[in-house]
């Protein structure tokens, strides 16, 4: 199976902070890890191109080394919870139940950038960009629309010569924050989807073929005519995959772009309460120019760290990522955080630098 290769050996984070979402578990400090790198992390494939760039650039400046394994959000949450890595990464905020199971105590969610989950497809004969809406996407991934020339697709794409080919659905096979964002959106716009299969990092898919990671889904769609899947925007761009425009809450068909993702996040910072833990969803956001399947992605870390040196390394890296690092986001098809949110996060990190 063809797979797009994303570079993932690079450099970045772990350590300390404080004052975040509390768990019901022990407040014991996280145990340090040793792996030949300064820091180790694992998790989401969604932000991996961004984290690869950041950590490479940061290593050049500081010499700090990190091995980040792009294994999916579910795996990142599990490894952080078991304290086998220094930090996790996820596109799905941890649930209260997941937070309660974490062995190292309270966990902080630190938003890093925003991205779009795109609907990618392989229709070589189609010259126009496909238009889709939420209920139709849900019906395709539920197996209720099985042909590309189905009347529901034709009604959204008048005048477009849709082929009579079968639709091959490609979805994630692993626990995935990208799946969480995608299903969060579909549950918001389709009552049928909200009932079954619902929202989560792992779903019972009615139809389709599984691919591991954003890389796997992108590779399956790229090599299979008639396929449709969902991947983060960077993976669609790097694989030169066709992306659909999606009808938003304002009734517009909007393409996934940096501008349309930024529009989705525009009101997020001002709407957050002062004591937020940053576990928020922005799918199907209101407003014009909004791409409706947009999301934050998060670095996950224990509030209390046993290793003071690693705590300082994480603090320093995150502060850099939230300031200088944001200017690198757009070139990789991610949207930087709203300025107000960046400032609040930097202040929060500054007041919670020292490990306990």
Alpha-carbon dihedral 235, 53, 336, 341, rounded to 10 degrees: 130
Close Cβ partners of 198 (under 8 Å, ≥ 6 residues apart): 183, 187
Structural domain boundaries enclosing 153: 117-264
Residue 319 has pLDDT above 80, yes or no: yes
Same-domain status, 223 and 152: yes
Same-domain status, 132 and 109: no
8 in any annotated domain: no
The DSSP code sequence of 263-311 is: HHHTTHHHHS-TT-------TT--STT--SSEEEEEEEEESSBS-HHHH
On whether the CB atoms of residues 41 and 14 are closer than 8 A, the answer is yes
Distances in Å between the Cα of 42 and the Cα atoms of 12, 95, 142, 279 are 11, 18, 31, 19
CATH number for the domain spanning 52: value is 3.40.190.10
Residue 36: predicted pLDDT: 47
* β-bridge mates for residue 302, sequence order: 107
Residue 353 has pLDDT above 60, yes or no: no
Close Cβ partners of 146 (under 8 Å, ≥ 6 residues apart): 166, 167
- Residue 311 confidence class, pLDDT cut points 50, 70, 90: confident
Residue 271: predicted pLDDT: 77
pLDDT tens per residue, range 129-187: 999 999 999 999 999 999 999 999 999 999 999 999 999 999 999 989 999 999 999 99
241 in any annotated domain: yes
Q: How many structural domains is the chain composed of?
A: 2
């Amino acid at each position: 199976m063809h797979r797009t290769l994303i570079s993932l050996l690079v450099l970045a984070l772990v350590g300390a902070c404080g004052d975040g979402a509390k768990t019901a578990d022990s407040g014991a400090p996280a145990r340090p890890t040793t792996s030949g790198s300064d820091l180790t992390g694992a998790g989401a494939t969604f932000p991996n191109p961004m984290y690869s760039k950041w950590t490479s650039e940061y290593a050049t400046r500081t010499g700090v080394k990190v091995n980040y394994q792009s294994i999916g959000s579910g795996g990142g949450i599990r490894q952080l919870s078991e304290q086998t890595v220094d930090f996790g990464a996820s596109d799905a905020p941890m649930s209260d139940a997941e937070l309660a199971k974490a062995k190292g105590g309270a966990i902080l969610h630190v938003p890093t950038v925003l991205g779009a989950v795109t609907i990618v497809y392989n229709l070589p004969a189609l010259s126009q960009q496909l238009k889709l809406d939420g209920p139709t996407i849900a019906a395709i991934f539920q197996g209720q629309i099985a042909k590309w020339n189905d009347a529901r697709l034709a009604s959204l794409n008048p005048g477009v010569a849709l082929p009579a080919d079968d639709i091959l659905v490609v979805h994630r096979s692993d626990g995935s924050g990208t799946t969480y964002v995608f299903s969060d959106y579909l549950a918001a716009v389709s009552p049928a989807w909200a009932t079954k299969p619902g929202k989560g990092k792992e779903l019972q898919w009615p139809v389709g073929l599984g691919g591991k990671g954003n890389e796997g889904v992108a590779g399956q769609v790229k090599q299979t005519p008639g396929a449709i899947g969902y991947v983060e925007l960077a993976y669609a761009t790097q694989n030169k995959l066709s992306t659909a425009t999606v009808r938003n809450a304002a009734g517009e068909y909007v393409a996934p772009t940096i501008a349309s993702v930024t529009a989705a996040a525009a009101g997020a910072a001002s709407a957050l309460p002062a004591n937020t833990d940053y576990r928020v969803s922005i799918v199907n956001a209101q407003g014009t120019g909004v791409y409706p399947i947009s999301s934050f992605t998060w670095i996950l870390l224990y509030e209390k760290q046993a290793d003071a040196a690693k705590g300082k390394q994480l603090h320093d890296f995150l502060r850099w990522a939230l300031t200088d690092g944001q200017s690198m986001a757009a070139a990789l098809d991610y949207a930087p955080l709203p300025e107000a949110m960046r400032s609040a996060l930097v202040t929060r990190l500054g007041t919670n630098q020292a490990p306990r």
